[in-house]
Amino acid sequence: MNQEQQHTGLLLLGVGGGGCRLAASVRAAYGEGLRVLCVDTDAQPLRTAAGAGIPTVLLGGSRLSGHGTGGDAILGRLAAQDDLETLCAQMQDVRTVVILASLGGGTGGGATPEIIKALHDMGLATVCFATRPFTFEGDARAKLASRVLPMIEETADSLIVIPLDDLFSDAHEEMLADAIQVAENLISAGVTLLWRLLTKPGFIQLDPERLHTMVLTGGNARLGFASASGADRARHAVEALKSCHLLRKGDSLTKASAVMLGILAGPDLRLAEIGEVMDALRRHAKKGCLFEMGTVLDARYEGRIELVALSFESWSAAVGQPVPAATDAVPPSAAEPPVADTFPIQPGSRRSRMKGSKLSFGATGRGKFRDVEPTLHEGQDLDVPTYIRRGIALER
């Protein structure tokens, strides 16, 4: 681990195929200074990540032999429980974990809530960026994502949901076969910029400590970004940010209780332009909204201004993101039990952490899932992570 990585206490964690590809792409854009870890049930994406010098942890190797879950979120969850100990051992000097997961598959959907819960129980702050599948991927993936989101929300300090449909409409592209690639590039640009704001000296630097505080107090957020060049670029960039689908066309900014804004530009960025951006956003936001701002100056952005915003507001994945209506609705059946039933988790909520209580797994409440029957398998309660069941002490 190099000094830059150690200093920030930040770790980027990719979970599942999509999450790992995103993490690798942020790392490629950012460079060596970014501390990243990729975890998956499928050995193939991990080999690719390892080839790029990224540390990896294979989940559930003993049960899945490195072949992935084939879309089974229960297997994803069990696989995560099998290897939580190895994963948590990678957290030395880490204070805040930024998780990237693409929901819709078995690993991103099943393993992510388990992992976040374990990190939370270690006392780490967690920020989860989760993509929701494109509508064209079908109803089953959309439903799986919708059921997992409340579980992540319950345990993560901050959840940032990125509906791929919205992202794609911001990209102003036709639906193309490479839609996922376009989406991936955009998300990785947003996360890279956020990371650079936190770690690279700019005109005004955001520090990881503030992010840490903001995610603990701010809760859920939406991510938005926009760019503009030419005359009047500051005004155009703000207008573009305000019309960004990911920020609900400005609605999210209006409702935000806190906004973390990054300005990426070339050395030609003028002070007046920073003022113009901030004034316009302050006018747009509600009274008393807290703003944190940082800049990254990079010669490659000469002539351009890029804005990335994390807009913290109160919303719930459970109620705010309805499942798209099924066209060929299938009645609920034993073939598809609700995920909340099949893998109830015992989250320590961010609220209980805010009270300063250090939680152990046994002491945490079951949150929204408290009335759900435990998942018993060969006499063991699978809702209890493996490292607790086996009495393994984790290094803190």
Ligand X SMILES: Nc1nc2c(ncn2[C@@H]2O[C@H](COP(=O)(O)OP(=O)(O)OP(=O)(O)O)[C@@H](O)[C@H]2O)c(=O)[nH]1
> Residues interacting with ligand X, by CB under 6 A?
16-18, 21-22, 41-42, 68-71, 76, 102, 104-108, 131, 133-134, 137, 141, 164, 180, 184
Which member of 13, 42, 184, 317 binds Mg ion (CB under 5 A)?
42
Least separation in angstroms between residue 58's CB and ligand X is 12
Which member of 8, 10, 14, 17 binds Mg ion (CB under 5 A)?
17
Site for Mg ion in 49-108 (CB under 5 A): 68
Which of residues 47 and 282 has its CB atom nearest to Mg ion in the complex? Answer: 47
Q: Which does 14 bind (CB under 5 to 8 A by kind): ligand X, Mg ion, none?
A: none
Measured distance CA(361)–CA(384) in Å, rounded: 8
Measured distance CA(24)–CA(41) in Å, rounded: 16
Per the CB < 8 A criterion, the answer to whether 307 and 277 are in contact is: yes
Q: Which does 102 bind (CB under 5 to 8 A by kind): ligand X, Mg ion, none?
A: ligand X
Least separation in angstroms between residue 80's CB and ligand X is 11
φ, ψ of residue 177 to 5 degrees: the values are: -60, -30
Q: Which does 139 bind (CB under 5 to 8 A by kind): ligand X, Mg ion, none?
A: none
Per the CB < 8 A criterion, the answer to whether 157 and 124 are in contact is: no
Q: Which does 53 bind (CB under 5 to 8 A by kind): ligand X, Mg ion, none?
A: none
Measured distance CA(286)–CA(292) in Å, rounded: 15
Which of residues 68 and 367 has its CB atom nearest to Mg ion in the complex? Answer: 68
Asked whether position 165 contacts Mg ion by CB under 5 A, the answer is no
Least separation in angstroms between residue 201's CB and ligand X is 30
| Percent of the chain that is helix, strand, coil (3-state, to 5) | 45, 20, 35
Counted residue by residue, the chain has a size of 396
**DSSP per-residue string spanning 318-363:** HHHSPPPPPTTPPPP-TTS--HHHHS------HHHHHTTPPPPGGG
Which of residues 76 and 202 has its CB atom nearest to ligand X in the complex? Answer: 76
The candidate with the shortest Cα–Cα distance to 160, out of 190, 119, 139, 115, is: 190
Least separation in angstroms between residue 292's CB and ligand X is 27
Asked whether position 133 contacts Mg ion by CB under 5 A, the answer is no
Measured distance CA(162)–CA(180) in Å, rounded: 13
Least separation in angstroms between residue 79's CB and ligand X is 9
Q: Contact positions toward Mg ion, by CB under 5 A?
A: 17, 42, 68
